[in-house]
Amino acid sequence: MSQEIELKLALGPEGPDALRHHPLLADIAPGVTFLGNTYFDTPAGELEMARMALRLRRLDGRLLQTVKTRGEGGGGLSQRGEWEWQVPGPGLDLAGPDGAASGRTGPGRAGTPGGAIYHGFSSRDLAAGAPRGKDRAGALDEGEITAGDGRVAIRELELELKAGETATLWSLAEALAARVALRPSDTSKAARGGALLSGEWRLPEGGSPQAWLHRAVVALDAHADSGRAECHAAAREAFRRLAAQGDTVTRDAAGTLADALADDAWLTPPLGRCLLQLSHHLSGREALA
pLDDT averaged per 10 residues, the chain (length 289): 88 90 76 85 83 89 91 88 91 71 38 65 59 68 89 92 87 93 94 89 93 96 96 98 94 98 94 97 71
Q: Establish how many alpha carbons lie within 13 A of residue 225's alpha carbon, considering only the half-sphere containing its beta carbon.
A: 32
The pLDDT value given to residue 73: 82
C-alpha 209/C-alpha 95 separation (Å) is: 41
Q: What are the DSSP E strand ranges found in the chain? A: 2-11, 33-41, 53-59, 62-68, 72-74, 77-86, 115-125, 136-147, 150-161, 182-184, 286-287
**Ramachandran angles phi, psi of 156, nearest 5°:** -135, 140
H-helix or E-strand spanning residue 243: helix 229-243
- How many C-beta neighbours within 10 Å does residue 210 have? 20
- How many C-beta neighbours within 10 Å does residue 62 have? 10
Please check whether residue 84 is in contact with residue 107, taking contact to mean a CB–CB distance below 8 angstroms: no
Taking Cα atoms as reference points, which of 179, 141, 180, 181 lies closest to residue 160?
141
The pLDDT value given to residue 30: 64
Q: What is the pTM of this model?
A: 0.87
The pLDDT value given to residue 287: 61
**Ramachandran angles phi, psi of 23, nearest 5°:** -55, -30
The pLDDT value given to residue 103: 36
Q: Is the dihedral of CA 110, 115, 119, 123 positive or negative?
A: positive
Domain ranges of the chain: 2-184, 200-287
Q: Which long-range contacts (CB under 8 A, 24 or more apart) does 93-99 make?
A: 93/65, 96/67
The pLDDT value given to residue 183: 97
Taking Cα atoms as reference points, which of 126, 149, 129, 150 lies closest to residue 60?
126
> Quick one: CATH architecture of 2-184?
Beta Barrel (2.40)
Buried b (16+ CB within 10 A) or exposed e, 97-123: beebbeeeebbbebeebeeebbbbbbe
Q: Residue 114, SS3?
A: coil
The pLDDT value given to residue 233: 97
The pLDDT value given to residue 289: 57
Taking Cα atoms as reference points, which of 142, 233, 232 lies closest to residue 189?
142
